[in-house]
Amino acid sequence: MIVSDASPLIVLLKTNNLSILKDLFETIIVPTAVYKEITAKEQEKAIFDKMEWIKTRKIKNTDMNSLLEKLIDKGEAEAIVLAKELKTTLLVDDAKARKYAKLLNVEVIGTLGLLKMAKNRGVIPSVKGAISDMLSEGYFIEDKLITKILEDVGES
């Protein structure tokens, strides 16, 4: 089980890599605000609603969420609160959200870390191909980060 923010789910969907999440974690939990983000477009709603392994859950700690929403967007705030409540890892790419999650002792992983994990566990054959797909979808990744990830998985 892992809690996810919207952007990793959207980029994985656009690059046909969403199944990586199911293969690695079986169940993906998203807070209500993230569900609204990922299903804002009818086409994406139809896809995400068919995936019974992606479950929506409401947060309980609304006070913490209110504070976080003053600093980061609603979906990221709810995702951090939910990951903390469920004592599980948070999948999030936004640097500011990652910083606040870590301050709250929430373990974080980004999409690139997820790809690295998938390669190391034999779920995907190549990280380079997945990164290439992400870049072609307009996803920005710093060159030095790409180089490091590819070195880490032996694809440099």
Q: Domain ranges in the chain? A: 2-111
| Helix (H), strand (E) at residue 109 | strand 108-109
Q: What is the pTM of this model?
A: 0.95
CA angle 156, 127, 137 (to 5 degrees): 115
Q: Does domain 2-111 have CATH number 3.40.50.1010?
A: yes
Quote the pLDDT of residue 73: 96
Quote the pLDDT of residue 156: 84
Helix-helix angle 42-50:6-14, to 10 degrees: 90
| Listed residue (81, 53, 43, 47) closest to 65, CA to CA | 81
| Listed residue (71, 63, 70, 61) closest to 31, CA to CA | 61
Quote the pLDDT of residue 75: 98
pLDDT tens across the length of the chain (156 residues): 999 999 999 999 999 999 999 999 999 999 999 999 999 999 999 999 999 999 999 999 999 999 999 999 999 999 999 999 999 999 999 999 999 999 999 999 999 999 999 999 999 999 999 999 999 999 999 999 999 999 999 998
